[in-house]
Amino acid sequence: MPAPELNEEMDDVAPEVVATRVDITVGPEDEGLRLDRVLARHLPEFSRTRLQALIAEGRVQRAGQPIAGGSAKAVAGESYSVEVPEPENATPAAQDIALNIVYEDDHLIVVDKPAGMVVHPAPGSPDGTLVNALLFHCGTSLSGIGGVRRPGIVHRLDKDTSGLIVVAKNDRAHKRLAAQFADHGRTGPLERAYLAFIWGAPDLPSGTVDAPLARHPVARERIAVRTGGRFAITHWQRLATYADTLGRPIASLVECQLETGRTHQIRVHMAHIGHPLLGDTVYGVGQRTRASRLPDSTRGALDGLGRQALHAARLGFEHPATGEFMAFESALPADLARLQETLEAGG
């Protein structure tokens, strides 16, 4: 069966090596059909699930522009190019990597992931991942639904986002956890909260960002707010505001809760409303003027951060076997705690 959709902020958006490009022209018999169905007929060696994934990755283009979604209708005479990446053949190896295990039983394991660790093998990160560590720790007791390169993985975090992640140890647990993450807490018990340090101070104490996301049309490793992208909703609440050396608001701590789980969602959404995350070198460029207003101690903490100031601080879900609601919290790691300490000290 195909792997369930992975949720949350994801880490594997680096472009893969493209091996081939296939050009397809839509014939009269395909007029008005869903594009993914048309592509599947022309490329029988690929499943519709695989083709839908290539579309979502921006690898299917018309006139040089990525297609927004597989539900788009084909038009006779139009031409499409499909980029097919080289297959990834390697099976992840078990590696003795230390894990901060918060909870574990026969059905699942909750890990407090450090910043800098990729969740599963991906282009540019073939090993040293959470999956490699889990294979060593759990042996064969990981769900196989995620496939050979991501066993047990129900959701992901960015490489440089720290915090809580739950992994399934069997297929039954994987299916039930995946259903909760797919619902994103709209009707079910799932709870997720992220702490983010952002530039500036929002005028309102709380708000919602409702803006569709898709791959950037030029910079393929980036995500952008784009008309026709996948809908994405982030709820945020301001917890604290910090001042610069002159007592003016310079940064804030916000709690973000996701109603959807798109790649880089929090980072892109907060930048979209003018409050990019501290330390985010992808979506938070152009902050040198603001940074110059920080106290020396805070600038030092920020320079030493080396990542976006984002932490998955709270995770709650219904246990897939017992039905019991389980809630976990993770304190800010040392680098973000140091940043917070210097921001609170102010000028």
Going by C-alpha positions, the residue among 124, 160, 156 that lies closest to residue 277 is 160
**Tokens (6 digits) for 119:** 């969740």
State phi, psi for 103 to the nearest 5 degrees. Answer: -155, 145
* Residues forming beta bridges with residue 18, ordered by sequence position: 85
Out of 11, 36, 112, 158, pick the active-site residue: 158
Task: Spell out where the chain has E strands.
Answer: 18-25, 60-62, 65-66, 79-85, 101-104, 108-113, 162-168, 191-199, 206-210, 213-215, 223-225, 233-243, 249-258, 310-318, 325-329
Question: Is residue 65 packed enough to be buried (19+ CB in 10 Å), middle (13-18) or exposed (0-12)?
Answer: exposed
CB 185 within 8 A of CB 192: yes
Cα–Cα distances (Å) from 47 to 23, 35, 54, 70, 135, in that order, read 17, 13, 11, 13, 28
Compute how many other C-beta atoms are within 10 angstroms of the C-beta atom of residue 86.
Answer: 11
Catalytic site includes residue 158: yes
The token duo for 132 is 């490699």
Closest CA to 93 of 34, 147, 41, 136: 136
Q: Which two tokens stand for residue 206?
A: 């709380």
Residues recognised as catalytic: 158
